[in-house]
Structure 1
Amino acid sequence: MLIQYGQALGDYLYDVFVAKFDFWLAFGLVAQLLFTARFVVQWISSERAGKSVVPMAFWFFSMGGGLMTLVYGIAKREPVIILGQSMATVIYIRNIMLIIKNHSKGSESLPN
């Protein structure tokens, strides 16, 4: 029975990641990698500072990964992705605007 489940899992993974591999799957995977990179950047920055920080790069990775995921959702006609990433991208852009606005008021230099 365990061998049957293993075979079924192998068949599923082959179908999802190999048989259906095309440009949009590659695009979506790159988008997800960018999106994941933001957490790596945030984690490294926090470890270096010894406290939780959100660097400017976090918002740029969020915006880039979010926009790419939105394009992927539009191309694949995925309403959940379209709605989620549309709203999230507005938040990412607004955070970048606030950081730049506060920087231009004479604050310290932009965060890393």
Structure 2
Amino acid sequence: MLETLYSWLHVDSFQEFVWVIIGLGGQLLFTARFLVQWIASERVGRSIVPLAFWYFSLGGGIVLFAYAVYRRDPVFILGQSMGLTIYLRNLWLIYAEKRREA
């Protein structure tokens, strides 16, 4: 059974299996951010980007970045590092605005 799962996931070891699970977890976080955005927008009847969207983006980006480093995929590493920069900057801007308003 385990051999079938490894074959289906194209992994050769338990370590690779764990990293595939980590990668899938990061992808689920990324998917969750869109669900959060959609639900929040439906509730108010207009398009909005809630704070949770940026946290799910950051969480998913960090996990996928780690997965990309493990896979040694320079395209994936570059793509995730650019996204992480944007997510952190958006969170910084949100909190800076909240400090100014306080």
TM-score range with shorter-chain normalisation? 0.7 to 0.9
TM-score, normalised with respect to structure 2: 0.86
Tell me the equivalent position of 1:99: 94
Residue by residue over 1:61-87, the C-alpha shift from the partner in whole angstroms, topping out at 9 and shown as x without a partner, is: 000000110000001101111000001
Radius of gyration: which is bigger?
1
Match 2:56 to one of 50, 55, 61: 61
CA distance in 1, matches of 2:66, 2:47: 31
* TM superposition shift of 1:16: 4.1
* TM superposition shift of 1:15: 3.6
CA distance in 1, matches of 2:36, 2:81: 23
* Runs (5+) with no aligned partner, structure 2: 1-5
Match 1:25 to one of 8, 17, 20: 20
Q: How many residues align?
A: 94
SS of equivalent residue, structure 2 residue 26: helix
More helix by share: 2
C-alpha root-mean-square deviation of aligned residues, in Å? 1.7
Give the fraction of aligned pairs with identical amino acids, expressed as a percent: 51
TM-score, normalised with respect to structure 1: 0.78
CA distance in 2, matches of 1:82, 1:30: 17
